Amino acid sequence: MKKHIVATVEEIPAGEKKFISVNGKSICVFNVNGEFYALRNSCPHQGAELCKGSVGGMTVYNGSSSEGFDVSFVKKGEVLRCPWHGWEFDIKTGKSIVDPKRCLVKSYDVTVEESDVEMINAQVETYLVTIKSNYVLVHV
């Protein structure tokens, strides 16, 4: 798979996303608590721009007791909800929350790699500048 530099780490803060196009494919890169994930920007249900949906978590039922129902909020910032019909997908895997074995969104490998770039401009008085930055790369 070919690597594509899509952003620096600083360009996609935790909890944010960035829309990109790679080889004609609409993809969205998410930063979930400092880890990066990429999903195809198309809902498998009816093709909505999936990544325009909301990101949140989910409430799970843990059982009941004499005091009532026991529920907890999990996967905060890891669940993507389709803007058209509310279908939910795990950002980390692309799998549907309701039917993870049969319904999923294409996910792409993402790495963060350090780069040392030296920039020199020979037409004016220059100073050597070294920029060290971590780049987010999507493997398509």
DSSP string, 35-57: EEEEEES--TTT---GGGSEEEE
Q: Residues with Cβ < 8 Å from 96, sequence gap 6 or more?
A: 87, 88, 89, 90, 102, 103, 104
Token pair belonging to 134: 């971590």
What is the structure's pLDDT at 139? 82
The count of residues in the chain is 140
List the chain residues with pLDDT less than 50: 119-122
What is the structure's pLDDT at 130? 59
Spell out the domains of the chain, with CATH numbers in brackets: 3-139 (2.102.10.10)
Computed on alpha carbons and rounded to an integer, the radius of gyration of the chain in Å comes to 19
What is the structure's pLDDT at 119? 46
